[in-house]
Structure 1
Amino acid sequence: MPLWTIHHTPGIFSDEEKQELSSRITDHYEKIGLPRFYVVTLFHETRPENIYVGGEPTPAGVRITIDHIARHNPDQESRRRTAQWVKGILQPHIERKAGLHWEFHVDETSEDLWMINGLVPPPGGSDAEKSWAENNATAPY
């Protein structure tokens, strides 16, 4: 499961931009074989007086945390590619905002601590996972 949690000050993303960004994110993960329903994107609008950078309130800011559970990067170069991909996904939505502070990080969490609808997801690349992707739904396997 990729979980993208996007904290942002008001006016950064319109409803249409949220839909477009979450679709672009999901499309990428689907291309590498994940079921679309694995991808969750949460937008949390936060007032400027509730986002502090360096101890100061931030009038325009975005802070994103990404949790990867279904797949992990095997080495440093893969992690760098992932960071560049994330940057590329975000830049069109963010760089047009003057004076915006933005940052992200990606955590890789053990898949042993993950369930969907009470089921342990099938191993990556397995026939069961391919079936989940094809049907875009969980099923016992």
Structure 2
Amino acid sequence: MPLWHIYHPVDTYTEQDKQDFAADITEIYTRFGLPAFYVIVQFHEMPGTSVFVGGKPSGDTVRVVVKHLARHLDDAGRRKRMTEHLDGVMRPYTHDRDLHMEFHVEDTPRDQWMIAGLWPPDEGSDAEKAWAQANRAMPY
């Protein structure tokens, strides 16, 4: 599952912005066969007095933490392309709005992840395809 934590100043995003941003993020992963319900996006509003960059208050900073559990890329070139792609997806919601943004991606081992008490099916398996079609976890 990809889990995205988006820390942003209060009132940076409208409800529609959040829906659009989350839909754009979800599309990244469903394009590669992941079930849509794997993708979780959490928006965290941060008061301007709670974010400091270089020791100084910052009211225009967006910090994104992306945690990947379902897929990992072992090749450095592919990781770089993926990171650049993620930056491009975030651009309309950050750079293009003159917000200071940075992000990083963490990989969590698959054997430390469960959904609804179930181990996720193997990548590309019939069970994973069934989960994607049903858009929910179910015994397999």
Question: What TM-score comes out, normalization by structure 2 length?
Answer: 0.97
Whether the aligned pair in 2 keeps the contact of 1:73 and 1:79 (CA below 8 Å) is yes
Residue in structure 1 matched with residue 75 of structure 2 by the alignment: 75
Aligned partners of 2:84 and 2:52: how far apart in 1? Answer: 25
Give runs of aligned pairs for residues 50-89 of structure 1, distance below 5 A. 50-89=50-89
RMSD of Structure 2 on Structure 1 (CA): 0.9
Give runs of aligned pairs for residues 1-141 of structure 1, distance below 5 A. 1-98=1-98, 100-141=99-140
Instruction: Determine what percentage of the aligned residue pairs are the same residue.
Output: 44
Whether the aligned pair in 2 keeps the contact of 1:12 and 1:97 (CA below 8 Å) is no
Secondary structure at the counterpart of residue 84 of structure 1: helix
Whether the aligned pair in 1 keeps the contact of 2:8 and 2:44 (CA below 8 Å) is yes
User: Which deviations, in whole Å up to 9, do the C-alpha atoms of 1:54-89 show, x marking residues without a partner?
Assistant: 111111110000000000012111111111111110
Aligned partners of 2:119 and 2:88: how far apart in 1? Answer: 32
Secondary structure at the counterpart of residue 119 of structure 2: coil
Aligned partners of 2:116 and 2:13: how far apart in 1? Answer: 30
Question: What TM-score comes out, normalization by structure 1 length?
Answer: 0.96
Secondary structure at the counterpart of residue 96 of structure 1: helix
User: Which deviations, in whole Å up to 9, do the C-alpha atoms of 1:1-36 show, x marking residues without a partner?
Assistant: 000000000232111010001001111211100000
Gaps of 5+ in 2: none
Aligned partners of 1:105 and 1:18: how far apart in 2? Answer: 20
Whether the aligned pair in 1 keeps the contact of 2:94 and 2:100 (CA below 8 Å) is no
Aligned partners of 1:93 and 1:63: how far apart in 2? Answer: 12
Aligned partners of 2:96 and 2:125: how far apart in 1? Answer: 41
Task: Name the amino acid aligned to 2:121.
Answer: P
Whether the aligned pair in 1 keeps the contact of 2:4 and 2:66 (CA below 8 Å) is yes
Aligned partners of 2:64 and 2:120: how far apart in 1? Answer: 25
Gaps of 5+ in 1: none
